């Protein structure tokens, strides 16, 4: 809707005329343009414009013309009817709630397509020849019509058709006021018939096409988005009153990416600068999601990551102190290895879990949860009406003090309102007198939350970001259309699976043919060209590594694309909001024991701040909860089994000869694995065993897996030159530069030349390259080799024992590998190429001592050895704030512009 159309609509509204728009958003946009125009005229009060969106318009017309007592179904009610009909057929696909709901949604959609595009097929006789899935839908539709007839119900899709016969104006009565129709990309036959029946109507005239049109080619989608955001910023900087419309096809999927680009590149214009038209599912909004999780937990299980998230929101606690205590409890559970895939409320609050934890659950919280659980239990004994359940929920949440720990923001208040509306919608399921169980109510509530889109009230931001369809009826001073590539525009879709394809083609239903997609895209593109005086299209030459070509349709309308102009290169990043303080002070560590063993010196080498944080601040990375055993638990089980295997008599062995003399390695290893699992996994006592937390069958499979892995490793070791295992899990205490370290060495072997081989078991992907000076990534084994052996011990080598499925090997530095480890090693073998050199050990010792001195002196710079890889494995970013540091460093290192000499965003 360009300037001429806007003038026409404004004049129409000023004269008291009625405008009907295609969408609610277009109605809001017109209303706000009308009010802006009056303000610009200097008025202080004026009559409200009469603008109605299509759905509201039809519903008010229905209310005005009939009182036949039929209940107009909302979409939840209608979907539940379709779900019941689908379930009545008893097919496998309809047994589960999820697939049944999806089928019901498809059936609703097919019904609505028929209502709008091919109403004659609503008569059962017209559908008699339908086959396969369409025949099934035909049966459901007949049953649906019958149910509606018998129970005086009306589908909202049928509303325009049912209205038509009621509309003719009786003789002698006055004509109805004329209508102006705006923002419809396509007026469907039923809509046209309805407007005709209402009297005189006219469509807002064509708008003048833009005077400035360009088509840009960007290097990739990031560059395209950055240039668009930067262009928006330039527009607003030049004139803060400017209104910009950005049209993008993938707003839902790319929401985060779009928001980041606009926050980064739209300049320093005061907030709010932009808003996206498309809301997010209410089920993804924090407050409703938290409420639903709490309710689910009262009678079911929550995954541990859901609990992590729930406690982090603070909504589940009555105060900030309680909230911290809940989060602390989760951390303590994880620290003590008590995590489990899913928690019932009962298991979470049972005394055994609480006793085993140094961070107890808040008593008041436990009491509230227990009481709410008891109250729900009473209700749950019998099915209730959806209304009863909906009334119980606010009471339960109130009794839990849900979301009272902090003042709610405006957006949260709006989310609360939408949550209440969602509850009311689900409560309306009782329209047919049904009674349902709590679980069913919660499942429908979850579906409703997922299907309800939530967008905070429009703040009338100057940059509006909308999809092509939602942009109908919107106008602006300038417009940018993103993603105009051949693959994406015209947008393509599939035909509907429940309707005969030939009917869809004949009725010109969406996506029935490629030509229809092309025609609709052409209409939308032309409409966009008339929505602003200045229009830019853009596409990315590469999207996620895949080459793209420009949309032929846009090339026809706007000429071939040109490289992105240099002036659209995003400006260099502004100064960081943080103030940098160079802190060279050091707080020395008191000489003595160091918590964390060799890991502290490895951390000191990787990043001095990491060592400081781990050993002196007791900082820990947050390990994500896992559905099964964590890698660290798997690693511990492997260590314990290998420790038991090589522990010597009575159950273990010590030498190669003993290994080779084992007659039934499978049974022997399996018995060791079983014993480790029995003591580790089935242990009882102060803390719940793994058996309480994981399914028995899963643990049996883990035993089988581990047995196979250990046998494969022993097969590998069977080929070694004779050796003797001196010690496993060998404990040593060493002193270094005044620091005391307690070490535990996985295994020490005596080789055939009398030297000692230091072995460390690893189930992950490791390499001796990590020991390379000048700044090793790992100093654990060099530390053991250099400082933990006895004075009489001659070092034969240090090696990782990589016990990984499909990758079993010793990887390290051994003095004479072909005469002490494996006979016949070729010179090209890695072990041969990496043979241990005498000076290597001396160099490591010097470096390790320096690390110890650095730690002792309090050296704690934020200085990762290999950014960003080191940081990605560290997990302490929130503490060291490396990101802010890097911004400052990057700026120092760059030429000040942050871009290449051409200054182009594109290259
Ligand atoms: S995240 Fe990086 S910079 Fe921060 S402590 Fe860890 S390694 Fe150091």
Cα 491 from Cα 488, distance rounded (Å): 5
| Distance from residue 603's CA to the centre of ligand 1 (Å) | 9
| Distance from residue 717's CA to the centre of ligand 1 (Å) | 38
Beta strands in 683-794 (DSSP E): 724-736, 739-750, 756-762
Contact 714, 666 (CB under 8 A): no
Contact 748, 819 (CB under 8 A): no
Q: Is the CB of 862 under 6 A from ligand 1?
A: yes
pLDDT, residue 171, reads 74
Q: Is the CB of 876 under 6 A from ligand 1?
A: yes
Cα 327 from Cα 335, distance rounded (Å): 12
Ligand 1 atom nearest to CA at 880: 4
Cα 381 from Cα 435, distance rounded (Å): 12
Contact 851, 589 (CB under 8 A): no
Q: Is the CB of 463 under 6 A from ligand 1?
A: no
Q: Is the CB of 607 under 6 A from ligand 1?
A: yes
Q: Whose CA is nearest to atom 5 of ligand 1?
A: 610
Start-to-end C-alpha separation, the chain: 35
pLDDT, residue 899, reads 32
Cα 309 from Cα 293, distance rounded (Å): 10
Contact 34, 28 (CB under 8 A): no
Q: Whose CA is nearest to atom 7 of ligand 1?
A: 871
Q: 666-677 burial, b for 16+ CB within 10 Å, e for fewer?
A: eebbbebbbebb
The 10s digit of each residue's pLDDT in 217-255 is 999 988 999 999 999 988 988 998 899 999 998 777 788
| Distance from residue 341's CA to the centre of ligand 1 (Å) | 29
Q: Is the CB of 608 under 6 A from ligand 1?
A: no
Q: Is the CB of 265 under 6 A from ligand 1?
A: no
Q: Where are the alpha helices (DSSP H) in 630-689?
A: 631-645, 656-661, 665-680
Q: What is the pTM of this model?
A: 0.73
Residue 469: closest CA among 195, 281, 213, 251: 251
SS3 content of the chain, % helix, strand, coil (to 5): 50, 15, 35
Ligand 1 atom nearest to CA at 609: 5
Q: Is the CB of 611 under 6 A from ligand 1?
A: no
| Distance from residue 609's CA to the centre of ligand 1 (Å) | 7
Residue 802: closest CA among 843, 759, 753: 759
How many other CB atoms sit within 10 Å of the CB of residue 88? 12
Q: Is the CB of 612 under 6 A from ligand 1?
A: no
Residue 678: closest CA among 703, 711, 707: 703
Rounded to 10°, the helix 386-399/363-380 angle is 170
Q: Is the CB of 847 under 6 A from ligand 1?
A: no
Instruction: Choose which residue among 775, 868, 876 to substitute to test ligand 1 binding: the one with the highest number of ligand atoms within 8 A of its C-beta.
Output: 876
Ranges in the chain, pLDDT < 70:
1-3, 92-95, 266-272, 351-358, 571-579, 680-693, 887-907
Count Cα atoms within 13 angstroms, Cβ side, for 398.
Answer: 5
| Distance from residue 616's CA to the centre of ligand 1 (Å) | 15
Instruction: Choose which residue among 600, 616, 874 to substitute to test ligand 1 binding: the one with the highest number of ligand atoms within 8 A of its C-beta.
Output: 874
pLDDT, residue 819, reads 94
Q: Is the CB of 880 under 6 A from ligand 1?
A: yes
The 10s digit of each residue's pLDDT in 851-876 is 999 999 999 999 999 988 999 889 89
DSSP string spanning 740-755?
EEEEEEEEEEE-TTS-
Residue 148 φ/ψ region, left for φ over 0, alpha for ψ in the -120 to 50 degree band, beta for the rest? alpha
């Amino acid at each position: 809707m360009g300037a001429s159309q806007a003038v026409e609509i404004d004049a129409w509204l000023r004269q008291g005329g009625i405008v009907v728009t295609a969408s609610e958003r277009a109605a809001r946009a017109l209303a706000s343009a009308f009010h802006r125009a009056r303000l610009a005229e200097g008025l202080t009060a004026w009559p409200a414009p009469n603008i109605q969106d299509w759905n509201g318009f039809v519903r008010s017309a229905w209310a005005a013309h009939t009182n036949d007592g039929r209940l107009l179904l909302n979409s939840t009610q209608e979907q539940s009817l379709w779900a019941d009909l689908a379930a009545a057929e008893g097919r496998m696909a309809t047994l589960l709630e999820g697939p049944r709901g999806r089928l019901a949604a498809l059936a609703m959609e097919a019904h609505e397509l028929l209502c709008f595009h091919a109403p004659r097929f609503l008569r059962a006789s017209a559908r008699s020849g339908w086959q396969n899935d369409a025949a099934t839908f035909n049966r459901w539709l007949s049953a649906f019509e019958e149910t509606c007839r018998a129970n005086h119900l009306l589908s909202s899709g049928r509303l325009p058709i049912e209205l038509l016969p009621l509309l003719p104006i009786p003789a002698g009565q006055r004509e109805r006021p004329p209508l102006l129709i705006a923002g419809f990309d396509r007026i469907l036959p039923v809509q046209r018939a309805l407007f005709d029946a209402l009297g005189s109507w006219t469509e807002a005239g064509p708008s003048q096409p833009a005077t400035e049109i360009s088509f840009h080619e960007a290097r990739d989608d990031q560059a395209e988005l950055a240039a668009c955001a930067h262009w928006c910023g330039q527009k607003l900087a030049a004139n803060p009153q400017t209104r910009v419309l950005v049209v993008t096809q993938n707003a839902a999927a790319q929401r985060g990416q779009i928001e980041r680009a606009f926050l980064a590149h739209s300049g320093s214009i005061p907030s709010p600068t932009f808003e996206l038209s498309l809301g997010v599912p209410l089920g993804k909004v924090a407050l409703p999601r938290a409420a639903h999780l709490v309710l689910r937990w009262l009678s079911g299980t929550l995954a541990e990551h859901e609990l992590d998230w729930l406690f982090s929101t603070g909504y589940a606690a009555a105060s900030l102190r309680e909230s911290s205590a809940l989060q602390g409890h989760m951390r303590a559970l994880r620290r003590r290895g008590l995590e489990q895939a899913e928690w019932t409320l009962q298991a979470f609050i049972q005394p055994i879990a609480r006793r085993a934890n140094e961070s107890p659950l808040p008593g008041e919280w436990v009491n509230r949860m227990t009481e709410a659980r008891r109250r729900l239990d009473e209700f749950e004994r019998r099915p209730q009406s959806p209304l009863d359940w909906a009334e119980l929920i606010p009471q339960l949440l109130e009794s839990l003090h849900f979301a009272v720990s902090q003042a709610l923001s405006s957006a949260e208040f709006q989310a609360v309102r939408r949550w209440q509306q969602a509850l009311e919608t689900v409560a309306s399921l009782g329209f047919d007198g049904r009674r349902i169980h709590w679980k069913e109510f919660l499942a429908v509530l979850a579906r409703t939350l997922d299907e309800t889109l939530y967008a905070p009230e429009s703040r009338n931001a100057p940059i509006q970001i909308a999809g092509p369809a939602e942009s109908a009826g919107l106008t602006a001073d300038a417009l940018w259309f993103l993603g105009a590539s051949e693959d994406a525009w015209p947008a393509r879709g599939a035909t509907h699976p429940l309707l005969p394809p030939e009917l869809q083609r004949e009725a010109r239903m969406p996506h029935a043919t490629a030509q229809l997609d092309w025609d609709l895209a052409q209409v939308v593109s032309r409409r966009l060209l008339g929505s602003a005086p200045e229009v830019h299209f853009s596409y990315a030459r590469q999207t996620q590594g895949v080459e793209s070509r420009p949309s032929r349709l846009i090339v026809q309308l706007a000429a071939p694309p040109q490289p992105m102009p240099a002036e659209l290169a995003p400006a260099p990043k502004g100064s960081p909001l943080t103030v940098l303080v160079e802190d060279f002070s050091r707080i020395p560590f008191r000489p003595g024991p160091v918590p964390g063993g060799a890991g502290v010196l490895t951390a000191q080498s990787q990043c001095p701040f990491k060592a400081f944080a781990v050993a002196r601040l007791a900082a820990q990375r947050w390990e994500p909860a896992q559905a099964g055993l964590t890698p660290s638990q798997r690693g511990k089980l492997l260590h314990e089994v290998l420790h038991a295997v090589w522990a010597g008599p009575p159950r273990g062995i010590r030498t190669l000869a003993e290994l080779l003399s084992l007659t039934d390695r499978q049974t022997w290893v399996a018995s060791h694995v079983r014993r480790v699992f029995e003591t580790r996994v089935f242990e009882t006592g102060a803390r719940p065993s793994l058996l309480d937390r994981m399914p028995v069958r899963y643990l049996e499979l883990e035993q089988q897996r581990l047995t196979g892995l250990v046998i494969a490793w022993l097969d590998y070791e069977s080929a070694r030159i004779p050796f003797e295992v001196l010690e496993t899990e060998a404990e040593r205490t060493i002193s270094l530069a005044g620091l005391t370290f307690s070490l535990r060495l996985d295994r020490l072997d005596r080789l055939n030349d009398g030297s000692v081989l230091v072995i460390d078991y690893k189930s992950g992907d490791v390499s001796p390259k990590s020991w390379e000076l000048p700044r090793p990534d790992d100093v654990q084994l060099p530390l053991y080799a250099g400082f933990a052996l006895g004075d009489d011990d001659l070092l034969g080598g240090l090696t990782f024992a990589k016990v990984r499925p499909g990758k079993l090997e010793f990887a390290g530095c051994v003095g004479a590998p072909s005469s002490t480890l494996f006979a016949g090693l070729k010179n090209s073998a890695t072990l041969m190429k990496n043979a241990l050199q005498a000076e290597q050990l001396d160099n490591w010792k010097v470096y390790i001592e320096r690390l110890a001195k650095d730690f002792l002196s309090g050296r704690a710079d934020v200085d990762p050895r290999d950014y960003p890889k080191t940081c990605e494995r560290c997990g302490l970013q929130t503490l060291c704030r490396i990101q802010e540091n890097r911004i400052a460093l990057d700026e120092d290192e760059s030429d000040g512009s942050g871009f290449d000499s051409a200054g182009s965003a594109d290259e």
